[in-house]
Amino acid sequence: MRNLLNNIHAFIFDPINKPLPFSKHEFDAVYSHMFFSMRFTWEELKFMFQEIRRILKHDGFNFFSVRNHNDKSYGHGTKMDNDIYDIKGLQIRFFTKQDVKALVKEGFEILDMKEIYDETLTLYLVSTRSRKT
């Protein structure tokens, strides 16, 4: 286990409208848990997905989760923008299935999209594979 930990390198970077600091086709997989549910514009989200596609190897995997419209917090708080609500100081984007499909349509195929529930939130868990464009 110690050898595995020696190979982990953490990076901090600004993902908004700036290329990810990685080479083309560098990774086999990317994983993001609720990151895209933050307050990003649709254009920023599309840019980030283009960047993920760029750094993934051909047939690489992009796994992510997002809050969805069935979440019990959807529509509560102060509406900030389309599908974005400020709930106790946290600005959250909520996705429909169509939103997810639109976000990944260029460069990815959806392998699986399932809805999961727990006591506080409802998510789409999405598995995609990069494809040649």
CB 19 within 8 A of CB 51: yes
The residues near 28 (Cβ < 8 Å, ≥ 6 apart) are 56, 57, 60, 61
Dig out the tokens for 107 from the structure: 């460069």
Host domain of residue 120: 24-63+97-133
- Supply the CATH number for residue 127's domain: 3.40.50.150
Is 70 exceeded by the pLDDT of residue 5?
no
Per the structure, how many domains does the chain have?
1
Compute the average pLDDT of residues 91-110: 96
The residues, ordered by sequence, that sit 6+ positions from 90 with a Cβ below 8 Å of its Cβ are none
**108-117 vs 56-67, strand pairing mode:** unpaired
Is 76 among the domain residues?
no
Hey, how many other C-beta atoms are within 10 angstroms of the C-beta on 9?
A: 5
Whether pLDDT at 31 is above 70:
yes
**Among 51-55, 108-112, 116-120, 123-127, which is the least confidently predicted range?**
116-120
Whether 2 has a pLDDT exceeding 90, the answer reads: no
Token code pair at residue 78:
């102060």
pLDDT recorded at residue 3:
63
**CA–CA gap between residue 131 and residue 125 (Å, rounded):** 19
* pLDDT tens-place string over residues 34-45: 999 999 999 999
